[in-house]
Structure formats: C-alpha cells, structure tokens
Amino acid sequence: MHSSPFTLHFEQPVLEVRGLTKIFPGGTRALDDVSVSVPDGQFVVVIGLSGAGKSTFLRCINRLLEPTSGRVILDGEEVTAASLKRLRQIRRQIGMIFQQFNLIKRESVLINVLAGALGSAHLLHSLIGYWPKADVERAMANLERVGIAEKAFQRADTLSGGQQQRVAIARTLMQEPRLLLADEPVASLDPATSHSVMRYVEQINREDGITVICNLHFLSLARRYADRVLAFRAGQLVADLPPEAIDGAKFREIYGEDAVEVEVA
Amino acid sequence: MARVEARPLARPPMHSFPSSQARRVRLAIVLAALVVAHVVGWQMAKINIPALIVGLPNMRHIVLGLLQPDAFEPIRDVTKVESELTILPAGSPVPAESGRRTVGTPGGPQATVQPAQVRPGQPVYVQGSGWPAGKKGEVLLAASYGGRPRSAGAFTVAPDGTINHAFYAPASEGAFDLVVQVVTPRFGWRPTETLLLSLRLMVETLFLALMGTSLAIVFTLPLSFLGARNLMGKTRVGRAIYYVTRTVFNLLRSIEVVIIVTIMAVVVGIGSFAGVLAIVVHSIGALGKLYSEAIESIDPGPIEAISATGAHPLQVIRYAVVPQVIPEFLSFTLYRMDINVRMSTIVGLVGGGGIGFILTQYINLLQWNQAGTAIWLIAIAVTAIDYLSAWLREKIV
Ligand SMILES: Nc1ncnc2c1ncn2[C@@H]1O[C@H](COP(=O)(O)OP(=O)(O)OP(=O)(O)O)[C@@H](O)[C@H]1O
Ligand SMILES: [Mg+2]
C-alpha cells in the first residue's frame, strides 16, 4: 500500500540516507556508502551477519554514533547537519529499542515509561521528578497498550525479558515518534516471547503509522514482519528486496556459502 | 608433508647457564643493596631497643590511666561551710581581737571558728549546729593561694546536730581556707567532670566529622560527574576537564589530613573549623575518585536509551546515571564517614579541636586517668560508628 506507484513519487520519504559511511577509530569501515530511502509507514527489516554494520546503521541515524560522512534526512530535515540542541528535538521523532532493553533497572516501570517524554518535558520539573498528570495518564495508557499496566509500580528489573521490552516499547510510544529504530529487539528472548514482542512492534507500525527499521537475526522473523528487507554485508548494503524474494541463492549471497537457515518457531 | 622429527623440548644448555648466572648476580646485588639500606636505616631511624626495654615501665601510667579512667564517682551528700583561718608567725603578739568567725546559714549548718587568728600550736575551736546528726565529719585546711587541703581532724556530729571540735594550729603561717564538711555516701555513681567534658568533646568530634563529610559531598557530587570518563570523554574539552578534575582529586587525596589541619589552622585559627576544613579538603579527593569510578562502571545502555529520546544531558544524568550510582555513592559515603570520625579524633592532636585536643592536654599535664577516659571514649565511638557504617552499607547493597 505504501509503496504504490502513485504515491511513491509525490510522498516525501520519512527517512533518506545518502552515502552514509562510518569508519571507527581503529579503521573498521562499519558502514560503507549506504544509501536508502524509506517511505512513510514502511516496516523495514535489516539483516546481515554479526559485525555487518546493522547496529552501526541504526545508531548513525539518530547520531548515537557520529557518521564519518554521508547524510541522514528525516522528514526533509538533515539530521547530520543539526546542532546538538536541534538534534535533541529531532531525536524526539525517533524512538529506539534495544536488545538489552536498557531500562532504568532500579526505577519503577512507570518512571521508565515517563522517561520517554523527557524530550518534551519541563527541564526543572523532570529533574525534581515531577510529572504532569497528563503525562502520567498517557504513560498508563501506553502501558495498557502493551498489556502490562498492572506492573506500573513494580521495579523494572523485576520484570521478565519480554515484559521489559514491552516497557521499552511503551517508552518510545511516549515520544509519539515518526520512526522507530529497533536493534535486535528480540535477540535475548525465547521464540514465543519474540513473536509477542514483535506483534506489538507490528501493531504500532500498522495502527500508529510509525515507520519501523528493525535489525533481526532470524530470517523467519524478517519474512513474517517485514515489508522490505535490507541486507548488509561488511558495511555495505548488498540487497534491498521484498521478504518473499529471499531464496536460497540470495540467502547464501548475504550470509555466505556455508550458512544454513535456522527457523524460529 | 614429511614426518616431523621428534625432538625433545630441550632448552639449550649452553644458553641457560649464563642467563641463570646473570640472574643470580642480579639477585645478589639486590640483596646486598637491601642489607645496606637496612643497616643505614637502623641508624637513621635511631632504633634503640634498650631504650624501649628501659622505658617500658613508663607505660604503666597510661595503662593505669586506662584501667582507672576518670569516668564515674560515687554519689555523696556533702554538707559543708567554708571559713578562714590566719596563722600568724610564731612569737608574734596575739592581737587583742583574735576574733571569732561564724559562717553558714542560720538554722542550716553553721560553724563558728575561734579564734580566727592564731599562732602555731595554739588550739582552734570549731563549734556549730544544724549538722546531720550522728554523721562523721572532717575539718580541712587549704592554703588560700591553692594547693592540696590537709586534714585538721575528724569529728562526729552530736545527736542534736551540734559539733564540737578542736585542733592545734599547724606550724605554717599564712591565710587558710577552713572547710567544715560532713560527707554522707549514698548508693550509686555519677559521671565525673572529666567524663562529661570528654563526652561533650566526643560529640563535637562526631559533628566535626559529619560536617566535614557533608560539606565534602556538596562539592564532590557535581565534580565527580566531571571526573567520569564515560560522560566526559566524548569531546576534546570534556577530556580536558576530566583530566583536570581527576588530577585535582589525586592531589587532594595525597595530602594527609594532619598536614592540611596545620595549614588550615594558620588560615582560620586553631579549633574545630580548621579540622572541618581539613577533612573537607581530603574527603573531596578521596570521595571524588570513588564517585567518579562508580559512575564510570555503570551500564551505558540506559544512557543511550535516554539520550535517544531527545533528553537534555542533565535529564540523562538524572534518569540514567543517578539511579545506577546511588547505592554505591551511599556505600562510599558511609565508608568515608567512618574514616572521617577516626580522622577527626586525630585532627585535634594538631590543633583541629574536638576530643583529640583535650587528650593532648591531659597527656601533657600527666593526667593519666583523664587521658584514659578520653581514649576509652574515642575507642568506643570509633568502634560504634565502624559497626553502624558496616551494617548500613550491608543494608544498602
Ligand atoms: N565502538 C566501536 N569501535 C570500533 N569498532 C566498532 C565499534 N562498534 C562496532 N564496531 C565494529 O563495526 C563493525 C560493525 O559493528 P555492528 O555492531 O554495527 O555490527 P552488527 O551488524 O550490529 O553485529 P551484531 O549482529 O553482532 O550486533 C564490526 O566490525 C564492529 O567490530
Ligand atoms: Mg548489533
């Protein structure tokens, strides 16, 4: 639907990446001249071997890592050219979830969700821990959406992995983002839990129209959730194709000749 | 490939000999240097074992002081009146009015001393009324300019509360305070002046440590973030600030508190405030290093996650850093408080106020029992804080 030929030419892409390159101080070329354009509402899955540059790609988009060269453009604005102050405003548009969930372990679930609203919160109020009623209500509603409202006052580290990732999703929902970056969000979860978490990601993509770029290890998950698959190899974008187009030959091209596909239930 | 010749993992014998000999020579040189250093050191440090053995008995003062600290005394009812007695030079004429002197409260204990001026060897009569019947009493003479009172005889109060006592004036002329007193022991003990004073100064010392620690925290909390590499290492300016902060911490930490007190005593004068300042300065260095290292060891994940939401750097610290470091900060702070209590007893020895100050005075005046009291209090307080701090730290972690 989003990639229909009629809208494609008129609609501005949410994300435009041009010639993105990241060379680490050690000399590792983790991203090598990557260009890609992501239309609004697309669910993009990034695959590739460990070390292929998937995480680096996501981190360069919101500049958790500074790219060595190239441009990242979000909704027509160049992220890579933004001042630090402007970058903070742009980051509010980009949610991010991580393999290790990255919650504040000793704080309550509710505080963790509220933290997603820090970018728009009153600085002093947030520093003394005061949250407006509206934010708290929104946080509870978002917890409701990921099905763990009853855990709101529990410490975050008392939750299971799947529950923690749902808290992280609720946290990004507080940002009401345009784009969600997910860096292997289910890599530390069992297969069944993986699907339950991925379904929440899919849900916010379909219902809220939030564009998703998600790194995944398992091709089966990619086939199940992706509108489009980007494959990285040694920092280069080697394939950009619909999920059903990944056949055995493509698979070996991406993962190497010796690779065997593993299914996730 | 062809079969590999089986060869033992032999060390070449010609090679090992000179190297092991070289090692032996090096060892011999090091040992010889150590022996020389210790021989010279023995003389430089003026080590004198006989002096230790001969002087050891001097320890008995301190040991006795510790065994009999001036801490509690039995409660006694003391009924007394004070009068005066002038002892004239021997052979001087007796004044026409040798006088009599009545002191005390009418109805209460009263005593009349007659005569009030007397020559050595002449009798002095002490009569009175209103004293606790049947109790034993004593007359004391003490030179007016001070000195130990000496007894001028004991008496027993008559059933009607009167006393009737006589003694011969001693052969030492001058003005004397004459004290008539009846001491009645009662059941129980009460703290002595020394104990009360030492207690007050011990409390002062604890507060000295508290203020030193708290003021140090006020400065260290913000500074420690500047001394954390994971927060500051991202930019060139940040790295410069990091190095400066860490260097300052190391400098402050390396100067002993006792040295800082003597400097501070020059600035603000001898007293507790100098002690507080010294503890503050040293604690900033010590706590700063511990705090910064605690910050450096946190999980960077939450920092990334909170930064990615578009949060301000201060919000990142408040939400991603602070919750992670709170338990360690508390633990380090309690540990520091514990050390500072010990330090604050020391600072008094060099002019920093508190109990250490009075302890040096007692020792200089050879008041061993009083010194014993102060030492006991220090030992008890330090041990108590030590246990309390350890217990609290265990609760937190
Ligand atoms: N901070 C860093 N400093 C130096 N090299 C790095 C750094 N982070 C990543 N790299 C290197 O960059 C390359 C790409 O790493 P990246 O983490 O993006 O891979 P990935 O595709 O996410 O792998 P994985 O599936 O294991 O998460 C790797 O060779 C990695 O060693
Ligand atoms: Mg990765």
Is residue A246 in contact with ligand 1, taking CB distance under 6 Å?
Answer: no
Q: Are B233 and B295 in contact (CB under 8 A)?
A: no
Residue A103: list chain B partners with CB under 8 A: 302, 305
How far apart are alpha carbons B24 and B16 in whole angstroms? 12
What is the pLDDT at residue B98? 66
**Every domain range in chain B assigned CATH 1.10.3720.10:** 194-396
Residue B332 distance to chain A (closest CA, Å): 19
How far apart are alpha carbons A100 and A1 in whole angstroms? 33
How far apart are alpha carbons B61 and B367 in whole angstroms? 9
Q: Which ligand is nearest the CA of A64, by number?
A: 1
CA-closest residue to ligand 1 atom 17: A55
Entry field: residues in chain A: 265
The DSSP element (H or E) to which B322 belongs, if any, is helix B322-347
CA-closest residue to ligand 1 atom 7: A24
Probe ligand 1: pick from A20, A23, A28, A255, max atoms within 8 Å of CB? A28
Task: Record the tokens describing residue A107, joined without a space.
Answer: 């704080």
pLDDT digits (tens, 9 = 90+) for B138-161: 999 988 887 778 899 999 999 998
Task: Record the tokens describing residue A39, joined without a space.
Answer: 């239309």
Whether residue A91 lies within 8 A of chain B, CB to CB, comes out as yes
What is the pLDDT at residue B18? 62
Question: At a CB cut-off of 8 Å and minimum separation 6, what does B156 contact?
Answer: B134, B135, B136, B137
pLDDT digits (tens, 9 = 90+) for B75-118: 888 888 988 898 888 877 766 666 777 888 877 888 999 888 88
Q: In what order do the strands lie in the sheet with A228-233?
A: A94-98, A179-183, A211-215, A43-48, A228-233, A236-241
pLDDT digits (tens, 9 = 90+) for A157-181: 999 999 999 999 999 999 999 999 9
Mean local confidence (pLDDT), B37-44:
95
How far apart are alpha carbons B209 and B275 in whole angstroms? 9
- For A1-93+211-265, the fitting CATH number among 3.20.20.70, 3.40.190.10, 3.40.50.300, 1.10.287.1060 is 3.40.50.300
CA-closest residue to ligand 1 atom 2: A24
pLDDT digits (tens, 9 = 90+) for A214-237: 999 888 899 999 999 999 999 999
**Every domain range in chain B assigned CATH 2.60.40:** 76-190
How far apart are alpha carbons A43 and A216 in whole angstroms? 12
Q: Which of A88, A90, A100 is nearest to A168 (CA)?
A: A100
Task: Record the tokens describing residue B268, joined without a space.
Answer: 């603000």
How far apart are alpha carbons A137 and A133 in whole angstroms? 6
Q: Which of B373, B337, B378 is nearest to B356 (CA)?
A: B378
Residue A104 distance to chain B (closest CA, Å): 6
Q: Are strands A211-215 and A179-183 parallel, antiparallel or unpaired?
A: parallel
Strands (E) located in chain A: 15-23, 29-38, 43-48, 69-74, 77-78, 94-98, 179-183, 211-215, 228-233, 236-241
Sequential DSSP letters for A56-88: HHHHHHTTSS--SEEEEEETTEEGGG--HHHHH
Is residue A30 in contact with ligand 1, taking CB distance under 6 Å?
Answer: yes
Name the stretches of chain A with pLDDT < 70. Answer: 1-10, 257, 259-265
Mean local confidence (pLDDT), B379-394:
91
Question: At a CB cut-off of 8 Å and minimum separation 6, what does B271 contact?
Answer: B265, B351, B352, B353
Alpha carbon separation from B255 to B69, B249, B250, B341 (Å, rounded):
35, 10, 9, 18
Q: What is the DSSP letter of B167?
A: E
ipTM: 0.92
Q: Are strands A236-241 and A228-233 parallel, antiparallel or unpaired?
A: antiparallel
Is residue A26 in contact with ligand 1, taking CB distance under 6 Å?
Answer: yes
Given an 8 Å threshold on Cβ–Cβ distance, is B309 in contact with A121? no
Given an 8 Å threshold on Cβ–Cβ distance, is A96 in contact with B323? no
Residue A115 distance to chain B (closest CA, Å): 7
Task: Record the tokens describing residue B319, joined without a space.
Answer: 């939400």
CA-closest residue to ligand 1 atom 25: A50
Q: If you average pLDDT over every residue of chain B, what do you get?
A: 88
pLDDT digits (tens, 9 = 90+) for B291-318: 999 999 999 999 999 999 999 999 999 9
Does the global pTM surpass 0.90? Answer: no
Please report the residues numbered 281 through 300 in chain B whose beta carbons come closer than 8 angstroms to any beta carbon of chain A: 299
Q: In what order do the strands lie in the sheet with B123-129?
A: B101-104, B110-114, B123-129, B163-168
Mean local confidence (pLDDT), B342-351:
87
Within 10 angstroms of residue B121's Cβ, the number of other Cβ atoms is 11
Tell me which residue has tokens 């520091």.
B336
Q: In what order do the strands lie in the sheet with A69-74?
A: A29-38, A15-23, A69-74, A77-78
Within 10 angstroms of residue B327's Cβ, the number of other Cβ atoms is 14
Whether residue B305 lies within 8 A of chain A, CB to CB, comes out as yes
Tell me which residue has tokens 């060379």.
A23
Q: How far is CA B134 from the centre of its chain?
A: 46
Compute, in angstroms, the gap from residue A48 CA to the centroid of ligand 1: 12
Domain B194-396, CATH: 1.10.3720.10
Task: Record the tokens describing residue A127, joined without a space.
Answer: 């520093």
Whether residue B321 lies within 8 A of chain A, CB to CB, comes out as no
Residue A238 distance to chain B (closest CA, Å): 28
Within 10 angstroms of residue B307's Cβ, the number of other Cβ atoms is 23
**Nearest residue of B to residue A174, measured between CA atoms:** B309
Q: What is the DSSP letter of B317?
A: I
Mean local confidence (pLDDT), B349-376:
89
Q: Are B50 and B156 in contact (CB under 8 A)?
A: no
Confidence band of B249 (pLDDT split at 50, 70, 90): very high
Asked if residue B9 has pLDDT above 60, the reply is no
Given an 8 Å threshold on Cβ–Cβ distance, is B301 in contact with A115? no
Confidence band of B2 (pLDDT split at 50, 70, 90): very low
CA-closest residue to ligand 1 atom 19: A51
Give the nearest partner residue to B305 out of A94, A102, A119, using CB atoms.
A102
**All structural domains of chain A with their residue ranges:** 1-93+211-265
Residue B340 distance to chain A (closest CA, Å): 30
How far apart are alpha carbons B356 and B334 in whole angstroms? 22
Give the nearest partner residue to A91 out of B309, B324, B326, using CB atoms.
B309
Compute, in angstroms, the gap from residue B52 CA to the centroid of ligand 2: 70
How far apart are alpha carbons B232 and B296 in whole angstroms? 10
Residue B320: list chain A partners with CB under 8 A: 104
Residue B306: list chain A partners with CB under 8 A: 104, 115, 118
Q: Which atom of ligand 1 is nearest to the CA of A184?
A: 27
Residue A87's identity, in one-letter code, is L
How far apart are alpha carbons B308 and B303 in whole angstroms? 8
Is residue A99 in contact with ligand 1, taking CB distance under 6 Å?
Answer: no
3-state secondary structure of A106: coil
The domain made up of B76-190 is a member of CATH 2.60.40: yes
Q: Which of A58, A72, A62 is nearest to A185 (CA)?
A: A58
Please report the residues numbered 66 through 85 in chain B whose beta carbons come closer than 8 angstroms to any beta carbon of chain A: none
Q: What is the DSSP letter of B349?
A: G
Q: Are strands A15-23 and A69-74 parallel, antiparallel or unpaired?
A: antiparallel
What is the pLDDT at residue B395? 85
pLDDT digits (tens, 9 = 90+) for B171-200: 888 889 999 999 888 888 889 999 999 999
Q: Which atom of ligand 1 is nearest to the CA of A59?
A: 18
